Amino acid sequence: MGEKMLFAFISVFIMLNYGLLINGVIRRIYARVGRRIGVPVYQMYIDLFKSWGLRTNIRHGTMFYLGPVFRFTGGVGLFLFMPAVYGVALFTNFSFSGDLLLLLSFQFFGTLGMALGASESGHPNSAIGVTRGLAQMTAVEVPFILAIMAVAIQYDSLSLTEIIAAQQGGILHWTLFTNPLATVAALLAMLGAMMRSPFDVVLAPQEIPIGPPTEYHSNYMVFLQSNRAIFPLAKAILFMNLFFGGALTIWMLLIKTFILLMWPVLVGVSFPRFRVEQSIRWFLKAPFIIGLLGIAYVYFFLK
Amino acid sequence: MSIDDLKKKIVTSPDGDEFEVNPMTDYFCGDCPEEARPVKGILEKFYNWARSESIWVLGFGTGCGAIEMRPLMTPRFDAYRYGIQWRPTPRQANMLIVSGYLSVKTLKRVIRVYEQMQNPKYVMGLGSCTINGGMYYDSYNTIKRLDYYLPVDVYVAGCMPRPEALLAGFEKLKQLIREGNAEGANDYANRFEWYKANQKAVILNWDMPDYNW
């Protein structure tokens, strides 16, 4: 167990650094699309140290403290309970036989934690941001859960390790090719889960100053920034495991997650922002129907 | 908010209970700011380097100078490459650009915003109006010298200063931060009475607590 915990620490540390760097790269890409040069790739580190170095901070109560902690737990928990690299002890983490269900709850955990924390700050913009965030997350979960159900039925398992194992043996064994409809539904849901345009009105920097984290600063901000590095990466790893055959080496992990993270970026730089009710309607139309078709496909063609 | 909103009042809860609310103590903190001493040695130098390379500017345009900040965010001048980023909330920002003339009404808001920012925080006075009143030198409702009311780290002169001048101002500020000389927040805490007296001398309808943390 001690060894496993050490490995978990190391893998979280590696992923945190990778996430921070990749966030820098993504900001750079956004800037280049807007014909700017953009922040240095390592700017996230400096921001982290700067926030850490603030000399004063404001307290609003216990839940205000716990909000960013829950958010961070959501990100790290999502990462820790799935095998990042299949068959490598260092990156197997704490995956177990029913981990898929736990991972689904971790998706929501951080947002709920922030809802409690941000509400205690008493700032109306936080409350508006959280309400928007939860409403949108609920709509995102619908096609995503349908896709996951399709995968679970297809492989008769709720264990990520078994799902990855079933996809080994060549690229045509990936869920991407065995059940493309579920993959498409999940990829569309991923757009909403990544907090990038067109689904980033939750963080809306103009209309409601940055939404839930309005009141958060200094060390709270460090937690939120670290989570923003780990959480999207953990989600990308989850998608990689479910639909793209998992990873057998660390390099494969890095390459696959990078490509997966570029998908919301590609959409994000191309499309303007939806309002919340527009995005909810959007998720409950095409992605929802494709998700249902994915399950039907499993029943009629794969069983 | 008006002065009447800050008086004690009896409020009825949704359950029908009646209780007294004193906004000045219940909604606000009455404590004065305290000096936050820098940590000593190499750690402070490292923090100062990080602070200088990651300046988060509060997006708050007070006067016509705000128009000069837009070119800084867009491709032509792109201040992001120097680590200067815009944040929409005073809690996270650590730099306030007072962009141009400051009417007494706006000064009140600027003070509230400045006090909500966390130590260390920096102020840049942009344009001649913040230095000596500029073209508003004889106006009855604009302030003439910003540093009577807030501790200013850098002034950028001109009417209007071009974005290049602002970038030069940012570089100067970075140098001050790295040298450990940009301690405006501590100065504000140490000379709090002096600043407050100056502020109250011009803001006649003072309808807020003395320190808006």
The closest of A302, A267, A257 to A287, measured between CA atoms, is: A267
A217 touching chain B per CB within 8 A: yes
pLDDT at residue A204 greater than cutoff 90: no
Q: What are phi and psi of B116, to 5 degrees?
A: -80, -15
pLDDT at residue A206 greater than cutoff 80: no
Searching chain A, which residue's CA lies closest to the CA of residue B29? A58
Report the mean per-residue pLDDT for chain A. Answer: 90
Q: Which of B47, B54, B81 sits opposite A38 (nearest CB)?
A: B81
Name chain B contacts of A31, Cβ cutoff 8 Å: 78, 80
- Spatial separation of the C-alpha atoms in residues A193 and A180, rounded to whole Å: 20
Long-range contacts of B133-137 (CB under 8 A, 24+ apart): B133/B101, B134/B101, B134/B159, B135/B159, B136/B101
Give chain A's radius of gyration (CA, Å).
19
What ipTM score was computed for the predicted complex, to two decimals? 0.90
Cross-chain residue pair B119–A54, CB shorter than 8 Å: yes
Q: What is the pLDDT of residue A94?
A: 84
- The percentage of chain B sitting over the pLDDT mark of 70, rounded to a whole number, equals 99
- Spatial separation of the C-alpha atoms in residues A135 and A129, rounded to whole Å: 10
Alpha carbon of residue B184 to chain centroid = 10
- Spatial separation of the C-alpha atoms in residues A52 and A67, rounded to whole Å: 17
Q: What are phi and psi of B9, to 5 degrees?
A: -150, 160
Q: If 0-12 CB within 10 Å is exposed, 13-18 middle and 19+ buried, where does residue B57 land?
A: buried
* Interval A235-254: pLDDT, tens: 999 999 999 999 999 999 99
Locate A200 and state its tokens.
């980033």
Locate B32 and state its tokens.
């004065």
Half-sphere exposure (Cβ direction) of B53: Cα atoms closer than 13 Å: 19
Q: What is the pLDDT of residue A57?
A: 87
Q: Which of residues 249-278 of A touch B (CB under 8 A)?
A: none
Report the mean per-residue pLDDT for chain B. Answer: 90
Q: What angle do CA A188, A192, A195 make, to 5 degrees?
A: 140
Q: What is the pLDDT of residue A175?
A: 93
Higher pLDDT, B31 or B94: B94
Give helix A286-297 / helix A124-155 axis angle, nearest 10°: 20
Mean pLDDT, range B76-81, rounded to an integer: 93
Mean pLDDT, range B158-183, rounded to an integer: 94
Mean pLDDT, range A228-239, rounded to an integer: 93
* Concatenated DSSP letters of A201-227: TTT-TTTSTTSGGGG--HHHHHHHHHH
pLDDT at residue A162 greater than cutoff 70: yes
- Spatial separation of the C-alpha atoms in residues B110 and B201, rounded to whole Å: 16
* Interval A258-268: pLDDT, tens: 999 999 999 99
Q: What is the pLDDT of residue B19?
A: 86
Name chain B contacts of A53, Cβ cutoff 8 Å: 47, 50-51
* Interval B4-48: pLDDT, tens: 777 888 888 888 888 888 887 777 777 888 899 898 899 999 999
Q: What is the pLDDT of residue A280?
A: 94
Searching chain A, which residue's CA lies closest to the CA of residue B73? A36
For the four alpha carbons of A175, A177, A179 and A185, in that order, the dihedral sign comes to positive
- The percentage of chain B sitting over the pLDDT mark of 90, rounded to a whole number, equals 61
Q: What is the pLDDT of residue B208?
A: 81
Q: What is the pLDDT of residue B40?
A: 86
CB A67 within 8 A of CB A118: yes
pLDDT at residue A210 greater than cutoff 80: no
pLDDT at residue B2 greater than cutoff 90: no
Q: What is the pLDDT of residue B61?
A: 82
Q: Which of A36, A43, A210 sits opposite B89 (nearest CB)?
A: A210
* Concatenated DSSP letters of chain A: -HHHHHHHHHHHHHHHHHHHHHHHHHHHHHHHHTT---S-TTHHHHHHHHHHT-S------HHHHHHHHHHHHHHHHHHHTS-SSTT-GGGTTT--TTHHHHHHHHHHHHHHHHHHHHHHTT-HHHHHHHHHHHHHHHHHHHHHHHHHHHHHHHHT-S-HHHHHHHT-SSGGGSHHHH-HHHHHHHHHHHHHHTT-TTS-TTT-TTTSTTSGGGG--HHHHHHHHHHHHHHHHHHHHHHHHHHS---SSHHHHHHHHHHHHHHHHHHHHHS-PPPHHHHHHHHTTHHHHHHHHHHHHIIIII-
DSSP label at B204? Answer: S
Helix then strand then coil, in percent of chain B rounded to 5, is 45, 15, 40
* Interval B116-157: pLDDT, tens: 999 899 999 999 999 999 899 999 999 999 999 999 999 999
| Beta carbons within 8 Å of B20's beta carbon, 6+ residues apart | B8, B9, B10, B11
Higher pLDDT, B33 or A184: A184
* Chain A closest-CA separation from residue B140 CA (Å): 33
Name the band, by pLDDT with cuts 50, 70 and 90, for residue A278.
very high
* Chain B closest-CA separation from residue A36 CA (Å): 4
Q: What angle do CA B10, B15, B21 make, to 5 degrees?
A: 20
Locate B16 and state its tokens.
């029908």
Q: What is the pLDDT of residue A13?
A: 94
- Spatial separation of the C-alpha atoms in residues A248 and A254, rounded to whole Å: 11
Mean pLDDT, range A154-165, rounded to an integer: 92
The fold for domain B55-202 equals: Rossmann fold (3.40.50)
- Spatial separation of the C-alpha atoms in residues B101 and A296, rounded to whole Å: 66
- Spatial separation of the C-alpha atoms in residues B118 and B206, rounded to whole Å: 23
Q: What is the pLDDT of residue A14?
A: 94
Give chain B's radius of gyration (CA, Å).
19
Range from A200-204, B114-118, B199-203 carrying the lowest mean pLDDT: A200-204
CA B136, B139, B143, B144: dihedral to nearest 10 degrees? 50
- Spatial separation of the C-alpha atoms in residues A176 and A179, rounded to whole Å: 6
Q: Which of B75, B89, B91 sits opposite A35 (nearest CB)?
A: B75
pLDDT at residue A180 greater than cutoff 70: yes
- Spatial separation of the C-alpha atoms in residues A38 and A44, rounded to whole Å: 12
* Interval A84-118: pLDDT, tens: 898 888 888 888 777 888 888 888 888 888 888 88
Searching chain A, which residue's CA lies closest to the CA of residue B81? A39
Q: Which of B80, B88, B91 sits opposite A216 (nearest CB)?
A: B91
Mean pLDDT, range A183-199, rounded to an integer: 91
DSSP label at B17? Answer: -
Mean pLDDT, range A114-136, rounded to an integer: 84
B interface test, pick of A52, A56, A201, A218 with most B CB neighbours within 10 Å: A56
Name chain A contacts of B80, Cβ cutoff 8 Å: 31, 36-39
pLDDT at residue A142 greater than cutoff 90: yes
Q: What is the pLDDT of residue A87?
A: 84
Name the band, by pLDDT with cuts 50, 70 and 90, for residue A205.
low
Q: What is the pLDDT of residue B174?
A: 96
pLDDT at residue B92 greater than cutoff 70: yes
Among A110-119, B61-70, B73-82, the range of highest mean pLDDT: B73-82
Q: Tell how strand B122-126 and strand B9-12 pair up.
A: unpaired
Name the band, by pLDDT with cuts 50, 70 and 90, for residue B114.
very high
pLDDT at residue A164 greater than cutoff 90: yes
Range from A229-233, A288-292, B17-21 carrying the lowest mean pLDDT: B17-21
Higher pLDDT, A126 or A30: A30
